[in-house]
Amino acid sequence: MANLQMTAAQWERLIGEELAGGILAPMRELEELYDKFTRERTQVVILNLNGNLTALTLRGARRGVNCSIGYELWVRFTANGGNWDVEFFRAAGAGGGDLVASVTNLADGGTDDLDEENASGWEGSLTLGAAVVAVADDLFKVLVVLDYPARLPLIWTQADQIEQDKFMRQRAAAAYSAVATSLLNGIGELRALADFWGVGVARDMPVARGNAFNRVEETVLVEDRENEDGQGNVVRSIRGLLAAMTVNMQDEGTGGEQDVVRRVIAASAATFDASNTGKGSVASHTPLEKTPIGRWTWQCDDGSDTGALGRETFSGSFVATDGSGITVTFSGLQVEKDYDGPRGFGTIRLRRTYAKTGDGSNLHLAAVTTGIFVGENDQNTNAGVLYWEVQANGGNWDYAFYSDAGRTRLVAQATNIATGAAFTATPFGTTGITVVWTAGSAPVDGTQGTISCQPFVTSRSADGQPDRFYIDTSLTGTAGLIQKLLADRFDGYLNSDASGSETIEDAWMTGGTFPPFVTADN
């Protein structure tokens, strides 16, 4: 709880002018240029402010063929009853021979795929604005921006039987890569500038700007440290200037709460391989705003087949699917323990899925839930299986759990349990296993069955591969661009709010740089 009692103007100068405008803006510009020399995107700029198109994706650009030499398209919007026809032309004047793509009879706000015209080769889709206006002149233009690697096969095509084309494609690709590498040096310089601004010192500057404003003495912008609590739970502590600044932004009482535009990430429930031996679940969750977008893959590296029943552990890797290029590896997720992952992922918990036999209607024992076993291992179960028996005790019931099918090795028991009542079967002797369950709706004396925790293995019976599961992180809505850059390149984030309610606009970072693409990538 800080409340620095700074005005909104003071915060805007710090985060807007200085961080976003002086450091993140050039960094973002170099990131975009790096992508331009390494990727194969087709990006789009709309040169009109009437809002007729809110989304436009294009594939198949060929300058001089399906767009102008300057990669331009002219777009017309014509009323069709209460809907709209949209036509794309490769030249001004809307000549019939210049029609290259169209959408017919689409309502305001609607989305549709483009129809190719005159064998132009265009593919794509568009979404109309909420209140489209007719355009019957050449004042609605679209610029197509093709990344340089995507241009190579279109320039040196060998279609004209020019022998040097193959060599030019190879040499140009190498040159583009060299340019991209040099851009990384520039990005590194700006990262160092960010560190100096936030936490650096100089001979006559004993306190950095960021530290001074926030009245802290941090040594790094971001620190994200993993700690294991001795019980198998993995927790993380996030420190550094950005963390301190986030709290100060929240607690500002004079200028009001300060925030950038949000970047909301959703993490799916886990998907498990069908051929897994072990069974479990991981619920969906909302990770931190700095979490990257992509697939988190987990595989068992210490299982019941390697003597770790009860504490099976997983390691994993993450690969980004949004073009950010982020990859991460991690380990230490233990079954039925909390896990905080790197880069803001988590908290998740891998829950067991139990399987019961001998009681299909849940008369003797309640339906299986989570958390039935506590303290299970190789000695007090039979590869994760317990053998249960219910016995009458006056008007109530005794529940006994054995680790062998012959029911000679009692490991846990609960006595005098009422019908339908919850119980905890405590360890018998020093077995160490507890069973937390509920009596069934109509137990019958002498009934027997099994309960298995279906433990995870490093070599599953189907194919010898480790048990595996996946979680996908995805973006909800659109991302604040300052928040996105901080997440991708700094593993950090600031206090945030919904677009329109932020106090530090993305425009501090995007203004005066490259024109805004319809779909913001950087």
Partner 1 sequence: MAIRLWIRQDKTSKGALEEPKAVAIDATTAPGPGELVDVDAATPAEARRVLKLARLKEAPDRKKDRETWNLWDDARDRVRPVARTDVEG
Least separation in angstroms between CB 260 and partner 1: 14
Min separation Cβ 209 and partner 1, Å:
23
Q: Which residues is 436 bridged to in the sheet?
A: 424
Written as one letter, the residue type at 88 is F
Q: How far is the CB of 11 from partner 1 (least distance, A)?
A: 10
Rg from Cα positions in the chain: 31
CA distance 482 to 504: 9
* Strand, helix or coil for residue 268: coil
Give 12 or 195: the residue with its C-beta nearer to partner 1.
Answer: 12
Cβ 503 to partner 1 shortest distance, Å: 9
Query: Residue 323 CB, nearest distance to partner 1 (Å)?
Result: 23
Q: How far apart, in whole angstroms, are the C-alpha atoms of residue 401 and residue 385?
A: 10
- Comparing CB distances to partner 1, the nearer of 1 and 274 is 1
Give Cα 420 distance to the centre of its chain. 42
Minimum CB distance to partner 1, residue 475 (Å) = 11
**Shortest approach of partner 1 to residue 447 CB, angstroms?**
44
Distance, CA of 503 to CA of 363 (rounded, Å): 59
Contact 414/424 with Cβ under 8 angstroms? yes
Distance of CA 95 to the CA centre of its chain: 45
- The 3-state secondary structure of 456-513, one letter per residue: CCCCCCCCCCCCEEEEEEEEECCCCHHHHHHHHHHCCCCCEECCCCCCCCCHHHHCCC
Residues near partner 1 (CB under 8 A) are 1-3, 7-8, 250-257, 264, 286, 476-477, 497-498, 500-501
For partner 1, the closer of residues 62 and 285 by Cβ is 285
CA-to-CA distance for 462 and 277, rounded, in angstroms? 8
> Token digits for 380?
């007090």
- Exposure of 323 in the CB half-sphere (CA atoms within 13 A): 14
Q: Whose structure tokens read 């988190």? A: 296
Which residue's CB is nearer to partner 1, number 117 or number 502? 502
Nearest C-alpha neighbor of 492 from the set 191, 243, 219: 243
Which of residues 94 and 475 has its CB atom nearest to partner 1 in the complex? 475
- At a CB cut-off of 8 Å and minimum separation 6, what does 429 contact? none
Residue 476 is which amino acid? T
d(CA 283, CA 466): 21
Judged by beta carbon, residue 3 or residue 177, the one nearer partner 1 is 3
Query: Given the complex with partner 1, which of 275 and 476 has the nearer CB atom?
Result: 476
- Tokens for 481? 């661009």
Task: In angstroms, give the least distance from the CB of 262 to partner 1.
Answer: 9
Question: Using CA atoms, how far apart are residues 518 and 515, in angstroms rounded to an integer?
Answer: 10
Q: DSSP state, 114?
A: P
The CA distance from 326 to 403, in Å, is 46
Q: In the complex with partner 1, which residue's Cβ is closer, 138 or 257?
A: 257
The residue behind tokens 């997440």 is: 487
Find the shortest distance in angstroms from Cβ 252 to partner 1.
Answer: 7
Judged by CB, which is closer to partner 1: 233, or 478?
478
Q: Could you tell me the smallest distance in angstroms from the CB atom of residue 254 to partner 1?
A: 5
Give the shortest CB-177-to-partner 1 separation in angstroms: 39
User: With respect to partner 1, which residue has the nearer C-beta, 307 or 477?
Assistant: 477
Q: Which is nearer to partner 1, 116 or 251 (CB)?
A: 251
